[in-house]
Structure 1
Amino acid sequence: MRRWPQCRDEPNGTEAGAMGQRDNGTGRAAEGCSAVSVAFPLTMMITGVVGNALAMLLVSRSYRAKESRRKRSFLLCIGSLALTDLLGQLLTSPIVISVYLSDRAWDAVDPSGHLCAFFGFSMTFFGLCPLFIASAMAVERTLAIRAPHWYASHMKTRVTKAVLLGIWLAVFAFALLPVAGLGQYTLQWPGTWCFIGTGDSQLTGSLFFASTFAVLGLLSLVVTVACNLATIEALVSRCRTKATASRSSKQWGRIATETLIQLLGIMCVLSACWSPLLITMLKMIFSHTSFERCKGFSGEAPSSELHKECNFFLTAVRLASLNQILDPWVYLLLRKILLQKFCQAANAVSKCSNNEWKERSITLSEEIRRTTA
């Protein structure tokens, strides 16, 4: 592995050379650059660990509650998503932070290249898994709303566990392909992380692996968005149907509105976080380019095209990493009563027993009065 550009003491150059070798003339500049650069991954790791750990705690408490039997599949999905994001933060962020702080070239930290392969594997595994789990949750919500009777009779907890296990195993096997020789993990700009290589047009396996990753990621986004839109359409249709009954209409409208807001939030967050990186990867694959050329970044003017492309690529990667932090807040923490509301919506669609619905309606009415008071 070749050394990456040395960090320079300029506003937009802090990222470019945090891995640069320090010499007598630029020691202080490199130290200052490293101090500024390391703040970003450190902040992301802390917020990600705290948010996902809190989400796992809340899910664990809700899962053990007797009244949570109807929503255990949904709880399993949220808990699995939080666990996956948490492990991703714990396995990748410390490596980036230690490399930033060491202010050394990656080849000095990882001369064998094994750490780079592990980092690339982790980025692939913990990148695709949350996307697939989000798709599974979107499908689960759609089935619960649009086919409630089928959902109640077929979607058992063991089915959810099997689906989640299948996702983990399938993505694990896919992420191991470069280790088996199909594809490659390479050092990426600014030299503090490794990911799927996209620029070697001579290696068909590398192009296949990189393009498959991007296509699978985009496909999962499409499935999630399509299922969420189908769920939204069903909720809106149900609201119109219930418009004749004033009291139930108000209750259902509140449930549906909060669910709609959350579904829209999920779609916006996933699309904003992942679309830039996945589309950029496909663009590089089809143009047979790679950000290996960012190694000459330190000699470029801040307004150069290469400077902008390298900065955009790094921003796209950070947005994808930001999704691990936002997941628990979008799915759970910003809506403390999300699980109860979703269960009520599913039960209302499936026309659950009158006694059970009356009990839930009383609880909801009390909550509405407390909220409006």
Structure 2
Amino acid sequence: MRLEACGELRQLPAGESPAISAVMFAAGALGNVLALALLLRARRRRGGGKGQRGPFHVLLAGLVGTDLLGTCLLSPVVLAAYGRNSSLEALGPRVCGGFGFGMSFFGLATPLLLGALALERCVALARPYLYARLRGRARAGALRALPALYGLALAGAAPPLLGWGRYEQHCPGTWCFVRMRRGGAYPLLYASLLLALVAAVLLCNLGAAAALLRMRHRRPGPPAALAREMDHLVLLAVVTVTFVVCSLPFTFRVYVNHFTQSENYQEDLRALRFLSMNSIIDPWIFAILRPPVLRLIHSVLCCEMSCKTKKEAPTLAVEQAELNKQTDLCSQ
């Protein structure tokens, strides 16, 4: 099917199944609700969060809430198209444009929040004394940063609504996004912005990891504090890897569609689903890699290593005794 004809579809092609979209919607909604519930539970255990709910948790709650909102706003539209066997263009005159704007907005809001999380950890670990003095104001700053980040995502997604770029329906007619082939400079700008966010998040995470290693080497500090920082860093690192893996295929397809004449809507759809998987996987990562779970994994690993060491200790002692015996015989 020609990509130009995808925008003219009014019915879905034969054989299209809603199974994948339905599973993605269910997994995303359930995972984000679970993650929000765990955040609220952790806050209650801390006595309402007074003085302890730092900027990291504020931004993390914003990230989970944004993913949940995006899943609940966009996925039902796709399922409605499957249910009526109609394309988004056939559902209404503004459905495609609204869906495309939502895709663009949430596609930028999630990495912006992830970048803010990475920057917060980098500053907290690289400048701990400054961060400790500003901790109270940092939490208030995180609350103010959320609207600012949403504003940046809005600014990045709005140009097609103002005439720069265009939203169009893509095959198989169940999703709309910016026109990637002969769409002008805006698709390249959008893809380049995603790549810049990928690079910024990676740099901040590397800086935070290097600062944590220096902290442990020069000034070991309280074990509980170091363990807490390591928990945050592990969670952020796994979420970042997921973000990179889910975002790069989409940016690659944008560049390919812009500079070549290839027509492979299946690859485009696969890249879109990769991008959508980011908001689905993130909450499950948080649920699995919560500090209590990480501490449990650490305890199990330490226990296994300790037991293994104890079992090997007698063998090592026997081997050392035999070696000493042979050394004594050779010296006679």
Partner residue in 2 for 1:348:
none
The answer to whether the 8 A contact 1:183-1:208 is kept is yes
Amino acid at match of 1:334: I
Q: What is the rounded CA distance, in whole Å, between the counterparts of 2:301 and 2:214 in structure 1?
A: 28
**1:47 pairs with 2:16:** no
Instruction: Give the conservation status (yes or no) of the 8 Å contact 2:56–2:117.
Output: yes
Partners in 2 of 1:282 and 1:210 — Cα distance? 8
TM-score (norm 1): 0.71
> Where does the alignment leave 5 or more consecutive residues of structure 1 unmatched?
6-15, 21-29, 201-205, 294-308, 342-363
Gaps of 5+ in 2: 305-332
**Deviation of residue 191 (structure 1)?**
1.3
Q: For 1:179, what is the secondary structure of its paired residue?
A: helix
Match of 2:153 among 160, 171, 174: 171
Is 2:235 the partner of 1:262?
Answer: yes
Query: Cα deviations across residues 80-139 of structure 1 (Å, max 9, x unaligned)?
Result: 1111111111111011111122223444323x2x11000000000111000000000000
Structure 2 match to 1:286: 259
**1:368 CA drift (Å):** 4.8
Distance in 2 of aligned mates of 1:38 and 1:368: 43
Find the partner of 1:66 among 26, 47, 50. 47
1:234 aligns with 2:227: no
Counterparts of 1:63 and 1:166, CA distance in 2: 24
Structure 2 matches for 1:131-142, cutoff 5 A? 131-142=111-122
Runs of 4 or more above 6 Å deviation:
none
Maintained 8 Å contact 1:77/1:137:
yes
Alignment of 1:95-134 (within 5 A): 95-110=77-92, 112=93, 114-134=94-114
Deviations 1:16-65 (A, max 9, x none): 99713xxxxxxxxx3xx24xx20101111111011111111222333353
Q: In the alignment, what sits opposite 1:197? A: 179
SS in 2 for 1:178: helix
Amino acid of the residue matched to residue 121 of structure 2? R
| Structure 1 contact 4–19 (Cα < 8 Å) conserved | no
* Residues 105 and 117 of structure 1: CA distance in aligned 2, closer, same or farther (over 3 Å): closer
**AA at the equivalent of 1:212:** L
Q: 1:317 corresponds to which letter in structure 2?
A: L
Give the conservation status (yes or no) of the 8 Å contact 1:3–1:105: no
Query: What residue identity is the alignment partner of 2:34?
Result: L
> How much does 1:190 deviate?
1.5
| Contact in 2 for aligned 1:120/1:196 (Cα 8 Å) | yes
Note the 1:275-354 alignment, pairs <5 A. Answer: 275-287=248-260, 289=261, 293=263, 309-330=264-285, 332-337=286-291
1:163, 1:336 → 2: CA distance?
24
Superposed CA RMSD in Å reads 3.3
SS at match of 1:198: coil
Could you say which residue in structure 1 is the equivalent of 2:168? Answer: 186
Shift in alpha-carbon separation, 1:321–1:258, aligned structure 2, 3 A: same
Give the count of matched residue pairs: 297
Asked if the contact 2:32/2:68 (under 8 Å) is kept, the reply is yes
Q: Judge conservation of contact 2:10–2:86 (CA < 8 Å) in 1.
A: no
Residue from 213, 224, 246 that aligns with 1:273: 246
Distance 2:209 2:131 in 1: 17
Partner of 2:165, secondary structure, is coil
Q: TM-score, normalised by structure 2?
A: 0.79
**Inter-partner Cα distance in structure 2 for 1:2 and 1:264:** 40
Q: What is the SS of the residue equivalent to 1:66?
A: coil
Q: Distance in 2 between matches of 1:105 and 1:213?
A: 25
1:160-180, Cα deviation, whole Å (9 max, x unpaired): 112111011221233222111
More relative contact order, 1 or 2 (CA 8 Å, 6+ apart): 2
Question: 1:91 — aligned with what?
Answer: 73
1:77 to 55, 59, 63: 59
Aligned to 1:12: none
Cα distance in structure 1, aligned partners of 2:301 and 2:191: 47
**Candidates 155, 180, 201, aligned match of 1:224:** 201
Contact 2:81 2:88 in 1 (8 A): yes
Aligned-pair identity in percent equals 26
1:129-165 CA distances to partner (integer Å, 9 max, x unpaired)? 0000000000000111111122223352221112111
Comparing 51-60 with 78-87, greater Cα deviation is found at 51-60
| Equivalent-residue separation in structure 2 for 1:161 and 1:254 (angstroms) | 26
Cα distance between partner residues in 2 of 1:59 and 1:371: 27
